[in-house]
Structure 1
Amino acid sequence: MSFKICIIGAGSVGFTKKLCSDILKVPEFTGIEIALTDINDHNLDMIRQIIETIVKVNGLPAKVTATTDRRAALAGARYVMNCVRIGGLEAFESDIAIPLKYGVDQCVGDTICAGGIMYGQRGIAAMLEFCKDIREVAEPDALLLNYANPMVMMTWAALDAGGVRTVGLCHGVQNGHRQIARALGVEGPEEVDIICSGINHQTWYLDIRYKGAQISRDALVAAMEAHPVFSQQEKVRIDVLKRFGVYSTESNGHLSEYLPWYRKRPEEIGDWISLDEWIHGETGGYLRYCTENRNWFEQDFPKFLEEAAVPLAGPRTDEHASWILEALETGRVYRGHFNVRNGGVITNLPEDCIIESPGFVDRFGINMVEGITLPMAAAATCSVSVNVQRMAVRAALTGDVDLLKQAMLHDPLVGAVCTPEEVWQMVDEMLVAQAEWLPQYAEAIPAAKERLKAPKVKTRNWAGAARLGVRSVEELRAARAAKEAAAGEGHGLGTKVMG
């Protein structure tokens, strides 16, 4: 088989290596071309060296190209993967820091909440450019596999305004699946069957089965609360499970910022989070994690290149991309959870929204399982986010500042913390700080600057309820070694399955 895959934002070095390694393990994919493109020439060169090394060491008949010319990379591509973070860590920093001045404490800030909404404004502006290039120079009817957050907003914009066949891909369902298996004391997630449905990062395990027997809510609560690690790390998820009756795909930190109840009082945030890993609720945790990893990779690149020279071995990861391409090209059926237009897949969510739900892939495309109904509480929570996403997407497509502010006002956590006047001023401040990545707001930003000369609300210099400092590479190495040692000692911790 000979076809071309283009990866936009390939400078996400670790993730690009994982995607490419999976693709290169598909036996039929001989003679393919992987075209890497990024605006960061330095990162692009690093990932080029790594992927070329993998191809050479394994004697694979694949071609690897790398260029900062996106249209050249897209020319003739059958599949396009989008892995960009528009604005990089600089814009990400303001996604976290500015809302903190108004009392909005986020762990991640990449899906909804203040940071996720602004991330979407930056990403959608770029997504429209990507789609234009795909329509003009890629293979006809090319498929865009979007990995970039905010997943829903980016996929929604590509489908509504980009004119490109698009599916959104995330690994939240797989991560939660593995965690549930561990909590139940099961050797591997393949022994546990799941049906998971909702919207990205608010997807719910509606049915969990082990050896054909359904795992009840009470059994899952008991397993999570008995687990020595999860009981401390996942307090928000366990609480929501008890109240909603279904478990969320998302980490404790992610879920806590999508809801109005757990991060609105600074003095209570600590009751719901864990600081042992960033993903469990730390203020700005993902920003710290990304910053540390960038620094680590810069220093340890020779080591990563050495690791790439080890022959490929073992099975592919559970990232969807390679499995989808394999199914489309060979007809071997693949079941996964995909982000697509609803259109009746979930009966109690709006038709136009982007949902994440089970589907099957074969030569005929991605075929979703229709007629799923969410529990009412889960549907209500998703619906609130859908309305925020819809307004945010429309604002990004039109440059409508009023609609952007209305989207921010209706965000669950922002609305729980801020007054309307605070929201209006916070959005002005974020628009000004991120102006270089927001071309659709170019005409509105001068007025925002003027308004900020006479602020109507006071802000504060606040680091958040649980902010940790960025560690040095040496500290990271020591922490990783300690974690690996602890993992070895604690191997097999868990509870027995309960029906």
Structure 2
Amino acid sequence: MSFKIAIIGAGSVGFTKKLFTDILCVPEFKDIEFALTDVSEHNLQMIKAILDRIVEANRLPTRVTATTDRRKALEGARYVISCVRVGGLEAYADDIRIPLKYGIDQCVGDTICAGGILYGQRNIPVILDFCKDIREVAETNVKFLNYANPMAMNTWAAIEYGKVDTVGLCHGVQHGAEQIAEVLGAKSVKELDYVCSGINHQTWFIDLRLNGRPIGKDELVAAFEAHPVYSRQEKLRIDVLKRFGVYSTESNGHLSEYLPWYRKRPDEITRWIDMSDWIHGETGGYLRYSTETRNWFETEYPQFLEAASKPIDREKRSNEHASHILEALETNRVYRGHFNVRNNGVISNLPQDAIIESPGFVDRFGINMAAGITLPEACAATCIASINVQRMSVHAAISGDIDLLKLAVLHDPLVGAVSTPEEVWQMVDEMVVAQAAWLPQYAHAVPAARERLSTSQVKTREWAGAARRSVRSIEELRAEKAALKQAG
């Protein structure tokens, strides 16, 4: 087979390498072309050198090109994969820093909450630019695979306004299933069958079976509470499991910022999180992790290049959906996964226009969703609260309506639990002014926002958050890796 895959935001080095090697685990795909594009020429050349080394080491005819000219990369592409972060770590830092001044403590801040909503405002105009180029220069029946957050907002915009065949992809379901299989004592996650449905980062394991035996709430709670690690790291998720009756896919830290109950008071935050790793609830944890990862890659690049000389091990193909979807579409080997698509009746008690994440099957005919799913009422209520925020956020990003943007932020569950309307209005003004370089749709609103800030009487505070850690130096990271290696 010979076709072209374009990867936008290919400078996401680790993730691009994973997608690349996964796809090349499919024997029929050795003759394809990967077209990498990014706004950073520096990052592009670094990742291209790594992928070229992989091709050379495995003696493959695969072609790898790299260009900052996105349109050129998209020409003739059959598949387009996006893993962009508009504004990079600079804008992301504001997504965490500014809300903290108003008492809003986020662990990740890339899906909803104040940070996720502003992230969507930066991404959506760019996503629509992608879609315009895709419609004009890619293959006629091109499929757009979006890995970028905020997943639901980006996918919603690409489908409704970009008019491109789009599916959103995430690995939260797979990771949740691995946890469940482990606590239940399964030898492999393959022993676990499940239906997991909801919206991205708020999907719920509504039917669980281990080797065909149904697993109920009480058994699952007991299994998690008995686990020596998860009982400590996933306290909030376990509490939600006890109250809702079903387990959420998303990590302790992520889930905590989508709900109005666990991060609304600083003294409560430390009760529910765990500081052994960023993903369990640390303030700005993913920002710290991303910063350290970038610095590590820049410093230790020769090691990454050397590692790329090893043969591809097909047994280590990851459970990221992309390669399996492409394999099913091209070879008709059926794949079952969980995909982000427009609802259209798949989940009976969620809005029809929402982007849901639910089971589906892929073959030559495309992605075919399993319809007729009904969520438990508490799960549906939680999802609907986020969907309403997502809808307003998408419409604000398209229209450049700063008042609608403020209403979207106001209706966010955690923001509403922490901040007053006056604080929300000022916070959004501050974020729009700080991120004006990436928010062209709000250019008309920035002068007035800046003027309001100059006369505002709303008080703020400089606060690092309830559980903040400093970015570690390269020397500290090296020492930690050496200690882990010695211990292991």
Q: In the alignment, which residue of structure 2 is the partner of 1:334?
A: 335
- The whole-number CA distance in structure 1 between the counterparts of 2:107 and 2:232 is 17
What letter is aligned with 1:218? Answer: D
**Map of 2:52 onto structure 1:** 52
Q: Distance in 2 between matches of 1:327 and 1:80?
A: 16
Q: What is the CA distance between 1:60 and its match in structure 2?
A: 1.0
- The equivalent residue for 1:460 is 461
* Per-residue Cα deviation, 1:419-455 (whole angstroms, up to 9, x for no partner): 0000000000000000000011110111100100011
Superposition pairs for residues 291-310 of structure 1, below 5 Å? Answer: 291-310=291-310
2:440 is matched with 439
SS in 2 for 1:207: strand
1:475-494 map, 5 Å: 475-484=476-485, 488=488
User: What amino acid is the match of 2:408?
Assistant: A
SS of structure 2 residue aligned to 1:339: strand
Partner of 1:495: none
Report the secondary structure of 1:156's partner residue.
helix
Partners in 2 of 1:201 and 1:288 — Cα distance? 20
Aligned counterparts of 1:263 and 1:478: Cα–Cα separation in 2: 32
Alpha-carbon distance in 2 for matches of 1:227, 1:402: 47
Alignment of 1:224-239 (within 5 A): 224-239=224-239
Could you tell me how far apart the structure 2 residues matched to 1:122 and 1:484 are? 40
Match of residue 425 from structure 1: 426
Distance apart, 1:179 and its partner CA: 1.1
Taking the aligned partners of 2:368 and 2:89, their CA distance within structure 1 comes to: 36
Classify the secondary structure of the residue corresponding to 2:386.
Answer: helix
User: Offset at 1:485?
Assistant: 5.3
Distance 2:241 2:187 in 1: 23
Question: What residue number does 1:497 align with?
Answer: none
**In structure 2, C-alpha distance between the alignment counterparts of 1:485 and 1:35, rounded to whole Å:** 40
- Which residue does 2:7 correspond to in 1? 7
Residues 421 and 456 of structure 1 are in contact (CA less than 8 Å); yes or no, is this contact kept in structure 2? no
- Secondary structure of the residue that 1:357 maps to in structure 2? strand
The amino acid of 2:420's aligned partner reads T
Tell me how far apart the structure 2 counterparts of residues 159 and 113 of structure 1 sit (CA, whole Å).
23
| Cα distance between partner residues in 2 of 1:187 and 1:457 | 56
Residue 118 of structure 1 pairs with residue 127 of structure 2: no
Residue 479 of structure 1: how far off its partner (Å): 2.2
Please report how far the alpha carbon of residue 473 of structure 1 lies from its aligned counterpart in structure 2 after TM superposition.
Answer: 1.6
Return the alpha-carbon distance in structure 1 between the equivalents of residues 184 and 484 of structure 2: 22
**Match of 1:36, SS?**
strand
Q: How big is the shift at 1:484? A: 5.0
Matches of 2:30 and 2:292 in 1, distance apart? 36
Question: 1:317 and 1:285 mapped to 2: Cα distance?
Answer: 24
RMSD: 0.8
Partner amino acid for 1:448?
A
Question: What SS is found at the alignment partner of 2:224?
Answer: helix
What is the CA distance between 1:30 and its match in structure 2?
A: 2.9
Residue 150 of structure 1, CA deviation: 0.1
Offset of 1:141 from its aligned partner? Answer: 2.0
Segment drifting more, 409-418 vs 190-199: 190-199
Q: Determine the C-alpha separation between the residues in 2 that align with 1:301 and 1:172.
A: 28
Q: Which amino acid aligns with 1:386?
A: I
Structure 1 residues 314, 478: CA separation in 2 closer, same or farther (over 3 Å shift)? farther
d(CA) in 1 for partners of 2:352, 2:425: 30
CA distance in 2 between partners of 1:280 and 1:147 (Å): 22
The answer for unaligned runs of 5 or more in structure 2 is: none
Q: CA deviation at 1:38?
A: 0.4
* 1:120-176 residue CA offsets vs partner (Å, 9 max, x unmatched): 000001101000110111111210000000000000000010011000000000111
Shift of 1:189: 1.1
Listed one character per residue, the Cα deviations across residues 87-126 of structure 1 (whole Å, up to 9, x for unaligned) are 0000000000000000000000000000000000000011
Secondary structure at the aligned position of 1:443 is classed as helix
**Retained in 2: the 8 A contact 1:141–1:164?**
no
- Separation in 2 of the partners of 1:459 and 1:134? 44
Task: After superposition, give the CA deviation of every residue in 1:340-362 in whole Å (9 maximum; x if it has no partner).
Answer: 00000000000000000000000
What amino acid sits opposite 1:435 in the alignment?
A
Matched, 1:284 2:284: yes
Cα distance in 1, alignment partners of residues 5 and 61 from structure 2: 14
C-alpha deviations, 1:271-326, integer Å up to 9, x for none? 00000000000000000000000000001000000000011114211000000000
